[in-house]
Structure 1
C-alpha cells in the first residue's frame, strides 16, 4: 500500500500517556470526553450502546481504558480535519475495543496481488455518478462480529451487476460464500479475489439470502441443485489503479459497483465526512463496495458502502478523497461479469 502516514506510531505513543496501572481506580466520571458534540462519560457510553459488563469488574476496567485511549485518538485525528467537509472522528460502538480487538473482529480481508491497470481512461465522465440513483445497490448490511467483509463485498457487487442487467434487485446469500468458498476462512477472513475465483471456476449459483440466511458465523456449506434459482458469476477482473483513479472512475461507470480492498484501521473512530488524511497503515485489511463518486465540490470523493450497519459513518457509507490512493482504495479493485 502507498502513501503511509505516522498515524499508528503517534496513536501508540498517545496511548501510553495513561498507564494502565494508574487507571483502575479512576472514577468513570473523571473520564469525560466529547461524545459527538455533548459531554458524556463512560457510563453514558455504556448506556447508549447497551454494554452490560459489571461496574468495577475486570471487563469494566479494561473497556474503560480502551475508551480512554479512543478519546485520545479522536483528538489526534480531528486535529487534521479542519475543513467543513472533512472527516470527523468520535465515540461510536467500537470505542471500547482495543485497536487489536477491532482488527481481529472486523478487519479480516486479505489482498491478492492485482495487475496494474493498463487500459485507457474513459473520456467524458459525468462530474458525479452514484449507482444508488439507478436503484441497483442493496441496503447497507451488518456483518456483526464476523470477519466476513470480503464476502459482503463480492455479493454486493454481484447482486448490483445482476440488477444492472435488468433483473430485480435481490439480496443474495453472503452466508453461502462464507460457508462454501473453500480457499477462504469464513469469519476468520478471506480474499475477494479467491471468492470470485471460486465462483467462476465452480459455476456455483449464489442463491437468494432468504434461502440461505446470514448467521454471522461460519457454518457447513449447503449445496443446491443446478435447477435452483440463483446468480452465477461468469468472470471478473482485478486491477491495481494506483495513480489512475480517473480511470477507476470510468471502470465504475462502465462495469458497475466494484469490490475493493482497503486499509480501514482508522475507520474504528469514523463518524462521517470525507477522509483526507491518516488512512494508511501499509496494510490492506478490509473489503468494501465502491458505488459512486462526486467531483463537484472542493474535495472530490469516492462513495463507499461498508458492512457495519447504518449507524456507522454516513448511514453506513464512508467518503474517501479521490487522489493519492487514500486508504489504499485503488490497490485491488474487482469488477464482476455475469
Structure 2
C-alpha cells in the first residue's frame, strides 16, 4: 500500500512538472494549434495501432486525454537527452494508456532479493559481446495484455542455454510456466526467481511452444509425463551485481543470457537509444533478458530483450547504460543451468 501511494504521489508530481514545463506562457491560439495537432496525431495513432474505439465515444475521449498526457511526458523526458546516443521517447503502442493502466498491465514482476555477488571477476572480457550473433537467442515475443514478463525472461534464458549447449534453438512454452508455476500468479505477476526455484525443485520439463502455445491468459496446468521430452532446470544462481556490473558482464559471457528485474515505468514511452536517466533502482517491476553488452562507444550499454513485441523500442530491444545500476538492472540477476 505504501509503495502504491508513493507511486501515485510521484506520478502526480511528475505530471505537474511536465505541465509547468510544457504549458508555460502558451497563448490561446497556440493552445488551439496544439489541440488540433494532437487530434491529428491521435487519428494517425489509432490507424497505425488499429484502435477500434469510436471517435466521440467516452472511451475515445479518455484515450485521447491519455495520449495528450503522453505527448507532454515525451517532451519532458526528451529534454534530458542531449547526447546523440541518448534514449528517445515518443508515441508507441502504449501512448493511449494511463501510467497506472500501463503499470497494472505490464509491470507485474515481483522483486526477489538476491545476495551480493562475491565471486571472482572474469579477466580478458571482450569489449563487445552479443549472444544473438551466435544464433542462440530466440526472436522477440509479445506478452500482450498479460503480466507474464517473469515467465518470458525465464523461458528466454532456458532456451538460449539449451542452444548454447549444442541443441537446436527452439522456443519453449511460456504458457506452461504461466499455468503451472504455483508459486506465482500467472498473468497477475510473478518472480523469475520463484519460477526458477519451482522448475528446479519439481524437475518439470518445459515442452516446445508448439505443444503448449501462448494464450496471454492464465489457464489450467497441462501436465506431461516424466518420459515426455523437454528441457529441465538443474540449478540456477541469483546475485545482486550493483556496483559490480563488470562481474555481471563476465557472468553473461560465461553462463549465457541472464534474467533480470528492472524498473520499467519510463519504458512506456521508449522509442530507442541508450537509457541513462528516468529509472530507479530498488523499485523493480519488470523482468527482461540481458543478451549482450557493448563498451566500444562513448556510452557503454547492456543489450536487453523485452517481451512487448518488435514494434516497441529497438525492434523489441532496449539499451541500458552500463554503470550506476541504471533501472536497477543489476539488483537481481539470475543465470540458468540445465
Question: Fold conserved (TM > 0.5)?
Answer: yes
Q: Give the TM-score of the pair, scaled to structure 1.
A: 0.91
Contact 1:109/1:149 (8 A) holds in 2: yes
Following the alignment from structure 1 to structure 2, what is the Cα–Cα distance between the partners of residues 300 and 45?
A: 33
Contact 1:261/1:333 (8 A) holds in 2: yes
1:10 to 1:79, Cα distance in 2 relative to 1, 3 A: farther
Higher strand share: 1
Aligned to 2:108: 108
Is 2:14 the partner of 1:11? yes
Following the alignment from structure 1 to structure 2, what is the Cα–Cα distance between the partners of residues 40 and 329?
A: 37
Contact 1:290/1:305 (8 A) holds in 2: yes
> Which runs of 5 or more residues in structure 1 are unaligned?
1-5, 20-25, 34-38
Is 2:195 the partner of 1:192? no
Aligned to 1:22: none
Following the alignment from structure 2 to structure 1, what is the Cα–Cα distance between the partners of residues 33 and 308?
A: 28
* Matched ranges for 1:132-281 at <5 A: 132-280=132-280
How far residue 141 of structure 1 moved from its aligned partner, in angstroms, is 0.3
Contact 1:29/1:42 (8 A) holds in 2: no
Contact 1:121/1:246 (8 A) holds in 2: yes
Aligned to 1:32: 37
Count residues in correspondence.
322
What secondary structure, in the 3-state scheme, does the structure 2 residue paired with 1:205 have?
coil
How far residue 14 of structure 1 moved from its aligned partner, in angstroms, is 4.0
1:97-147 alpha-carbon deviations (Å, 9 max, x no partner): 000000000111011110000111111100000000111000000000000
Contact 2:91/2:269 (8 A) holds in 1: yes
Contact 1:206/1:232 (8 A) holds in 2: yes
What RMSD, in angstroms, separates the aligned Cα atoms of the two structures?
2.0
Following the alignment from structure 1 to structure 2, what is the Cα–Cα distance between the partners of residues 28 and 67?
A: 16
Q: Give the TM-score of the pair, scaled to structure 2.
A: 0.91
How far residue 12 of structure 1 moved from its aligned partner, in angstroms, is 2.5
Following the alignment from structure 2 to structure 1, what is the Cα–Cα distance between the partners of residues 213 and 154?
A: 16
1:31 to 1:235, Cα distance in 2 relative to 1, 3 A: farther
Contact 2:281/2:325 (8 A) holds in 1: no
How far residue 308 of structure 1 moved from its aligned partner, in angstroms, is 0.3
Higher helix share: 2
Contact 1:276/1:326 (8 A) holds in 2: yes
1:325 to 1:278, Cα distance in 2 relative to 1, 3 A: same
